[in-house]
């Protein structure tokens, strides 16, 4: 009989079950945490603009004599990362168009086929996993491959992460199945407004608090906040409905870099314990979005050499170390780089994905999507440490291989907890109508990350102790554990305390 393959969610919950067995978690509490409180699945609709889609090479000969069309409005065409253009309504003002069978020629750009827009439907999600410790909290992801199973795993991950960070939140996650590279800024704004319109009765500053995730940012959070607070008499008291906002509209100093900063604080603790000279470390980073780019910048400032970077479109390397500020400018300040990819960066050599993972280094930072370091990748890594900046980047097989090869691992639930920790600081500032300095935010974050990292380290080593920063005596279980299981022990003991002390509502 063929063995049924485990789902992404089942695999993600393996550490939960290991830790629950170890601490003899109350069976009813275990049932409360095994599945989400609520799974919201719905659809959002928007009107897409008309598009100009590149004509295939095989069809170009039929339009060789087609005259060029002229569009005078500077912003008539919005370029998309897939090579298409969104045709805005103002495009026809003072335009001189020649079209044959739906095809036009744009000077300097080539031949394009007109594609009619119209209403489109997109599948959307919001999974609310657990609120025993406080309001649901978790990111909003826009990606073409999201699913219910994925969001369940990510929402549960947020429940553990908020407990480990010791902030008064529970776990949630959500988003929309969409490829942002194929849509205009206006379309994504309309999609966001519609998403929050559908969610309005399910979220709030004391109910469920979204934040940025993959392919979303402070601008998306601003749009969500506007939709939620529009027309409300006390709208400024509702700023805490989302976190990760621009500082000019209630965001926190240090929030944009917080997840990458937290990754570095964890790496610093690992290096300090092992008396490893961090300033001489060689680092490879998978993913150069918000988290990966900030981790790269902060580590480079500390003297580390970022020798290779990979993203969805390719990999680049420089044996002497990449010029990180120049790479950031190439990705984020280059109007020609619509895909925001590291590929093509002139200060590096393009390499294959396989060569990226096999690059000799001291530290690997997966900062992209989940399930990237499987058993095969773990076999070729030439590093001493994997610091999980992404959510669930290492598979169960990958983790077993890393352990067998004595490669250390800092699990995601502590390594990337800087984001939700500073989100809590932002939420606090919103409730108090305060604004803290970046120095204050960084100092609070460093204390929190390093204290909770110390707790997890003590649980893993079974060395109960009380220090100036933490007290691990009530968390150790009498045996040594791997870091992921130790993290889960800390999370479950903190969550279980609420059920043990408060009981169950009837």
Catalytic machinery residues: 173
Burial of 250 (0-12, 13-18, 19+ CB in 10 A): buried
Q: Are 169 and 425 in contact (CB under 8 A)?
A: no
Give, for 316, the enclosing helix (H) or strand (E). strand 314-317
Q: Are 133 and 494 in contact (CB under 8 A)?
A: yes
Q: Are 298 and 447 in contact (CB under 8 A)?
A: no
Structure token digits, residue 248: 């000019």
Vertex 231 angle, CA 226 and 235, to 5° = 65
Buried b (16+ CB within 10 A) or exposed e, 115-145: eeeeeeebebbbbbbbbbbbbbbbbbbbbee
479 CB-near residues (< 8 Å, 6+ apart): 462
Structure token digits, residue 135: 């309001």
Strand extents, DSSP E, 108-167: 110-115, 118-130, 136-143
Alpha carbon separation from 76 to 51, 70, 118, 337 (Å, rounded): 11, 11, 18, 19
SS3 of 86, please?
Answer: strand
């Amino acid at each position: 009989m063929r063995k049924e393959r485990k789902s992404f969610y089942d695999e993600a919950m393996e550490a939960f079950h290991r830790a629950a067995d170890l601490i003899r978690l109350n069976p009813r509490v275990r049932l409360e945490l095994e599945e989400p409180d609520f799974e919201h699945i719905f659809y959002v609709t928007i009107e897409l603009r008309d598009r100009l889609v590149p004509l295939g090479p095989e069809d170009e000969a039929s339009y060789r004599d087609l005259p060029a069309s002229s569009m005078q409005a500077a912003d008539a065409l919005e370029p998309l990362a897939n090579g298409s253009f969104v045709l805005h309504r103002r495009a026809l003002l003072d335009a001189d168009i020649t079209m044959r069978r739906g095809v036009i020629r744009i000077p300097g750009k080539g031949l394009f086929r007109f594609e009619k827009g119209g209403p489109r439907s997109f599948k959307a999600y919001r999974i609310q996993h657990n609120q025993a410790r406080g309001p649901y909290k978790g990111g909003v992801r826009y990606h073409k491959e999201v699913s219910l199973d994925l969001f369940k795993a990510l929402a549960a991950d947020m429940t553990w992460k908020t407990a480990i960070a010791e902030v008064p939140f529970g776990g949630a996650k959500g988003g929309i199945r969409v490829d942002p590279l194929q849509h205009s800024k206006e379309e994504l704004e309309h999609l966001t407004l519609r998403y929050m319109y559908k969610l309005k009765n399910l979220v709030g500053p004391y109910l469920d608090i979204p934040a940025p995730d993959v392919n979303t940012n402070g601008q998306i959070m601003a749009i969500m906040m506007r939709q939620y607070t529009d027309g409300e008499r006390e709208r400024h008291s509702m700023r805490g409905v989302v976190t990760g906002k621009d500082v000019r509209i209630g965001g926190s100093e240090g929030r944009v870099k917080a997840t990458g900063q937290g990754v570095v604080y964890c790496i610093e603790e690992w290096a300090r314990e092992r008396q490893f000279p961090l300033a001489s470390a060689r680092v490879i980073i998978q993913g150069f979005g918000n988290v990966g780019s900030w981790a790269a910048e902060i580590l480079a400032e500390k003297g580390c050499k970022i020798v290779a970077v990979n993203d969805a479109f390719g990999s680049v390397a420089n044996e002497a170390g990449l010029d990180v500020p120049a790479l950031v400018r190439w990705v984020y300040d280059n109007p020609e780089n619509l895909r925001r990819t590291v590929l093509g960066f002139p200060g590096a050599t393009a390499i294959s994905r396989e060569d990226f993972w096999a690059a000799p280094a001291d530290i690997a930072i997966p900062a992209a999507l989940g399930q990237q370091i499987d058993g095969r990748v773990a076999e070729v890594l030439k590093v001493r440490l994997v610091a999980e900046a992404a959510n669930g980047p290492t598979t169960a097989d990958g983790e077993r291989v890393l352990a067998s090869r004595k490669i250390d691992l800092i699990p995601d639930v502590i390594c990337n907890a800087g984001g939700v920790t500073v989100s809590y600081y932002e939420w606090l500032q919103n409730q108090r109508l305060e604004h803290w300095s970046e120095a204050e935010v960084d100092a609070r974050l460093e204390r929190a990350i390093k204290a909770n990292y110390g707790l997890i380290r003590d649980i893993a080593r079974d060395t109960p102790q009380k220090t100036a920063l933490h007290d691990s005596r009530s968390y150790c279980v009498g045996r040594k554990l791997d870091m992921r299981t130790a993290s889960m022990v800390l999370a479950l003991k903190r969550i279980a305390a609420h059920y043990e002390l408060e009981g169950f509502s009837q």
